[in-house]
């Protein structure tokens, strides 16, 4: 067999495997946590998961062979940017997809591509850019794998696009018994819809067929306005503008009441590029950005640094660039010099348009009451999700992406749990939902209230994965 398997030899590993093998009848067993020394981490450095084995397949056939031979639970990982153990299950097999990163085909005339699921957006952009093409919908950064993005049904700043699932034409899936199936919205709609935004619950996505878009010149338009005017501004100046390509608005501490709206509109032909690079270079160093983040969170008066310094700079400077350049940002620009004592974490909440103002105020009140070290809240908009079985947008929504700093010790983690549950209660009161790729602080009843469709996902899973082979720490807690 070709796939590369890392396993820590020794008595404890053997014990884990024997326990896993022992319960083959009925549901897949969960072995008690044994110290295998194989931890699967995530970008924050918090909440690593100890697994029995890590495999890095290079082909669909290897994924299928792994699923047939591994007797215990299986979790799948992409770029590992989710933050609460979504990519791994205790004492299980972790399938690391990052070596399955090839382009399967690219059809410029059809504006479509098929990729292996472990490919990162940035790698796909290298193929698309010379042909004048762009990814249609992706997150704000390009480091994520396509498989991980489809599995959380990610979104970006694209005006009017909604989640990435809207751009998925078909999926190849390896199922619990090792069989490989091709699914789309017609052939097996239930499984297709369960895999998109399903966090690896129904199978390993091995290949993905995607719609593409045109790479165009875009120009930045920045405007500061009061919170009360934002909704109208978004409707009339952003959504109604056919030139609008990307949009978000920043809310800054301490009051989070003065959005700075940043819209990238399609630039007219006579506008010269102010940034001529077509893509953000790989491996750049981000010392300045790191210093700004450090100063904003560690120095007295730091929280007002962005409002006083960074935003005026944004507003003063016209920028015209390629869409692919803005879409190929590297998460390294957010990476602090160390995450030993504190780390940077995300959360996200979605509310219907009519509840925008009420939730914005409730969120600011909770953050202030708990002295949360929030760096920024980024507001975006999404039309209703038409695809996923577990949608974060049942209707058109605004999203609030919170970026905050937290200390790493146990009492700090507990405190984050407390205010996160308050934010989840607030979003539920505002008929909204919270996003699932982040830390697992929600109670099971909060999860059920936010995602009542989970019962349908449970039913589909019971049909195609009756022993519950696919799991991870998210699904162990909530599904």
Ligand X SMILES: Cc1cc2nc3c(=O)[nH]c(=O)nc-3n(C[C@H](O)[C@H](O)[C@H](O)COP(=O)(O)OP(=O)(O)OC[C@H]3O[C@@H](n4cnc5c(N)ncnc54)[C@H](O)[C@@H]3O)c2cc1C
Name the site residues for ligand X (rule: CB under 6 A).
43, 75-82, 86-87, 97, 117, 139-141, 144-145, 147-149, 151-152, 154-156, 199-200, 204-205, 331, 334, 346, 437, 472
Shortest Å, Cβ 399 to ligand X: 8
Shortest Å, Cβ 23 to ligand X: 22
Q: Which is nearer to ligand X, 128 or 327 (CB)?
A: 327
**DSSP-assigned states of every residue in 197-244:** TSTTSS-EEEEEEEEEEE--EEEEEEEE--HHHHHHHIIIIIIT-TTE
Shortest Å, Cβ 226 to ligand X: 25
Q: Write the CB contacts of 185 (distance below 8 Å, at least 6 apart in sequence).
A: 192, 193, 387
Q: Nearest Cα to 206, choosing from 180, 188, 186, 185?
A: 180
Q: Tell me 101's DSSP state.
A: -
Q: For the packed helices 410-429 and 356-369, what is the interaxial angle rounded to 10 degrees?
A: 160
Q: Which is nearer to ligand X, 127 or 361 (CB)?
A: 127
Q: Tell me 56's DSSP state.
A: E
Shortest Å, Cβ 113 to ligand X: 16
**C-beta nearest to ligand X: residue:** 148
Residues 227, 379: Cα–Cα separation, whole Å = 11
Q: Which is nearer to ligand X, 391 or 437 (CB)?
A: 437
Q: Which is nearer to ligand X, 85 or 259 (CB)?
A: 85
H/E stretch holding 433: strand 433-434
Q: Which is nearer to ligand X, 43 or 260 (CB)?
A: 43
- Nearest 10 degrees: Cα torsion 135, 132, 332, 290: -120
C-alpha 101 chain-centroid distance:
18
Structure tokens at 19: 């326990």
Q: Give the Cβ contact number of residue 137 at 10 Å.
A: 23
Shortest Å, Cβ 338 to ligand X: 17
C-alpha 423 chain-centroid distance:
19
Shortest Å, Cβ 5 to ligand X: 18
3-class state of residue 346 by DSSP: strand
Q: Which is nearer to ligand X, 322 or 392 (CB)?
A: 392
Shortest Å, Cβ 293 to ligand X: 12
Residues 395, 447: Cα–Cα separation, whole Å = 18
Shortest Å, Cβ 140 to ligand X: 4
The Cα angle at residue 210 between residues 205 and 83, in degrees rounded to 5: 50
Q: Which is nearer to ligand X, 149 or 215 (CB)?
A: 149
Shortest Å, Cβ 472 to ligand X: 5
Q: Which is nearer to ligand X, 70 or 141 (CB)?
A: 141
Shortest Å, Cβ 314 to ligand X: 18
| Cβ contact 342:407 at 8 Å | yes
Residues 83, 73: Cα–Cα separation, whole Å = 20
Q: Which is nearer to ligand X, 26 or 85 (CB)?
A: 85
Q: Which is nearer to ligand X, 104 or 132 (CB)?
A: 104
Shortest Å, Cβ 443 to ligand X: 20
| Cβ contact 244:261 at 8 Å | no
Shortest Å, Cβ 149 to ligand X: 5
Tokens 């300045």, located at residue: 288
Q: Which is nearer to ligand X, 99 or 361 (CB)?
A: 99
Q: Which is nearer to ligand X, 234 or 240 (CB)?
A: 234
Distance between first and last Cα of the chain? 33
Sign of the torsion angle spanned by Cα atoms 458, 459, 460, 465: positive
3-class state of residue 374 by DSSP: strand
Residues 163, 394: Cα–Cα separation, whole Å = 12
Residues 228, 106: Cα–Cα separation, whole Å = 45
Shortest Å, Cβ 79 to ligand X: 3
Residues 376, 306: Cα–Cα separation, whole Å = 9
Structure tokens at 38: 């194989």
Length of the chain: 479
Q: Which is nearer to ligand X, 75 or 191 (CB)?
A: 75
């Amino acid at each position: 067999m070709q796939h590369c398997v890392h396993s820590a030899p020794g008595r404890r590993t053997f014990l884990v495997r024997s326990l896993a093998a022992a319960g083959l009848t009925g549901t897949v067993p969960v072995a008690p946590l044994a110290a295998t020394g194989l931890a699967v981490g995530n970008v924050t450095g918090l909440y690593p998961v100890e697994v029995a084995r890590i495999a890095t397949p290079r082909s669909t056939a290897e994924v299928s062979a792994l699923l047939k031979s591994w007797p215990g639970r299986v979790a799948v990982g992409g770029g590992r940017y989710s933050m609460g153990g979504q990519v791994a299950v205790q004492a299980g097999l972790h399938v690391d997809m990052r070596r399955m990163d090839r382009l399967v085909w690219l059809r410029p005339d059809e504006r479509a591509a098929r990729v292996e699921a472990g490919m990162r957006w940035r790698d796909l952009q290298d193929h698309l850019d010379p042909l004048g093409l762009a990814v249609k919908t992706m997150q704000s950064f390009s480091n994520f794998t396509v498989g991980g993005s489809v599995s959380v049904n990610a979104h970006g700043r694209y005006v009017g696009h909604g989640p990435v699932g809207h751009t998925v034409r078909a999926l190849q899936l390896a199922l619990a018994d090792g069989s490989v199936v091709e699914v789309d919205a017609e052939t097996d709609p239930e499984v297709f819809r369960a895999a998109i935004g399903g966090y690896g619950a129904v199978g390993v996505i091995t290949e993905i067929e995607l719609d593409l878009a045109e790479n165009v010149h875009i120009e930045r338009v920045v405007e500061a306005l009061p919170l009360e005017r934002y909704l109208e501004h978004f409707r009339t100046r952003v959504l109604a503008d056919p030139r609008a390509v990307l949009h978000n608005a920043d809310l800054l501490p301490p009051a989070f009441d003065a959005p700075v709206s940043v819209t990238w509109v399609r630039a007219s032909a006579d506008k010269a590029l102010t940034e001529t690079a077509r893509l953000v270079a790989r491996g750049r160093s981000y010392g300045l950005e790191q210093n700004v983040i450090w100063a904003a969170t560690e120095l007295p008066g730091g929280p007002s640094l962005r409002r006083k310094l960074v935003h005026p700079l944004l507003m003063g400077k016209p920028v015209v660039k390629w869409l692919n350049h803005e879409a190929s940002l590297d998460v390294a620009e957010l990476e602090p010099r160390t995450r030993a004592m504190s780390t940077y974490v995300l959360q996200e909440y979605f509310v219907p348009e009519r509840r925008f103002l009420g939730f914005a105020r409730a969120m600011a009140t909770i953050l202030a009451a708990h002295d949360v070290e929030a760096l920024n809240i980024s507001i975006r908009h999404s039309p209703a999700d038409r695809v996923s079985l577990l949608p974060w947008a049942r209707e058109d929504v605004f999203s609030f992406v919170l970026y905050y700093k937290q200390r790493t010790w146990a009492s700090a983690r507990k405190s984050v749990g407390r205010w996160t549950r308050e934010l989840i209660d607030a979003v539920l009161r505002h008929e909204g939902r919270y996003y699932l790729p982040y830390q697992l602080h929600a109670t099971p009843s909060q999860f059920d209230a936010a995602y009542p469709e989970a019962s349908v996902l449970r039913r589909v899973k019971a049909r195609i994965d009756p022993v519950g082979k696919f799991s991870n720490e998210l699904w162990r807690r909530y599904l």
